[in-house]
Structure 1
Amino acid sequence: MNPSSSIALITGAGSGMGRALSHLLARDGYVIAAIDQREGGLRSLADELQAKPFAWRVADVTDPAGLTQAVRELETQLAPIDVLIANAGIGLETTALDYNVEHMNRVMNVNLLGVSNSIGAVLPGMIQRRRGHLVAISSIASYRGLPRMLAYCASKAGVNAIMDGLRVELKPVGIDVTTICPGFVRTPMTENLEGKLEDLIDVETAAAEIAHAIRQRLPFHAFPRWMSWKLRFFLSWPLTWQDGLIRRRMNRINVKKPAAE
């Protein structure tokens, strides 16, 4: 697919990784359709991309009707969506000792159901046209549950499961499915993590990795690659060993407040 004729819909485009990816894909020739729940971020992004084809709508990915309406308006203004990048996400502290159902539900609604709602807004049209590309931003944190990140890890593991199922079913229809699992990226969300996180990735590097996976239409892409391999090896250990090491390392990190990716 020629990027110059492709419409890329990016959720959570107003800040962080979504914003950086909007810039990078626009430079590649994609027409950017941006969605975010914050109008200010979209307006400033529009100012920065004023020389590029660009359209935006304010919408909340947890509101399927509102999101679908926003996508319909963007498709009317531009053209049918060719690539969906379901990027919108949040991080909230969710712990066993102070179990907060509201926090759990909020993270699951944004990170998991938000991806489902985004897919639901574009997939019928892609199936009808028998072409398209679904991309979801998951996380290396999806590989196993972590203390104080219960909902985040669970939501991203759910994203992986959805995308795995879609990939198998949609390939014969002509629709590619890509799951992206970054390590911890330096975004507004990780700014709210107190303590030492190992090897934070800058947002431009993360955007370049994601853009590469989109161009190559990879089924799965985790980065940094060495970190993914390291975690895969770690998961081969006995659970008691895993739990002990994680307990020691997580004591250095404190999740403070909600933030968008």
Structure 2
Amino acid sequence: MWSAFCVFIVIGLVIIGLMFRKPANERVFYFTSILPTMFMALAYFTMASDLGWAPIRAEFNHVKTDTQDEFPGYRQVFYAKYIGWFLSFPFHVINLGFLSRTPWGQIAFNVCFTEMYVVMLLIASLVSSTYKWGFYVLAIGALIFVTVSTFVTSGRLADKVGKDCHAYFHIAAGILTVLWFIYPICFGVSEGGNDLQPDSETIFYGVLDVVVFGFYSLAFLLATNDFTLERLGLLTPEFEVIPHEKSGLSVAGRASGETAVSRSASGVTSPSAASPRP
């Protein structure tokens, strides 16, 4: 766990260093790459400190002991890991949405189902009865929906941005989909089936998380570095300061609360203008 924490910190610092080489209004992809890396670093720091876990009675006891009947097996479940996923997983969906110029509403919709996927897995890990597999199926259903929505909706929009965007999008989305579907497999043999012990589970998840939230985020950032935010429709219009026009009227000597009004506008003429000179 400490190794994963160090990798996340190093990758995060590298991305931060690269960020300052870009203009301030071109750093959106840097923000969405730094945040998940740091969130996962905090999660692994918590788990490496032996915090953020709860003992959950295992449904399947594959490790038999002499006191198995009196003291059934309990499994160490790190809920801190799921909190890190809850905070980090949506940024991959957001990045793919930005790259394909997906509307904000569709991106938010995909993010909600991504969060549902993580929450369902968290509940499944904390349930000791067979009901956990119901939440497990719901999680996989949410993941399938996000995958289909990303490839169908965002994939078509990426084609309109350009051929290079089309290629980068489908490569990034394809790799991410393969990696995402490994998580339910790991869950099935660890928190679900209790075949892998917590130490082996930590190695499995640790390598997977480092690849998904560390190296994948860095590779995505480097691959899309040449895409300007103007091309992706992410630049917001800058405010222009319009200076006040000078009226040319003297306001000196005006008392507080008075308004400068020209004599011609008020209907009052000066004596010199009213009577001609002899």
TM interval, shorter chain, is under 0.3
More strand by percentage = 1
TM-score w.r.t. the length of structure 2 is 0.26
TM-score w.r.t. the length of structure 1 is 0.28
More helix by percentage = 2
From the CA coordinates, give the structure whose radius of gyration is larger: 2
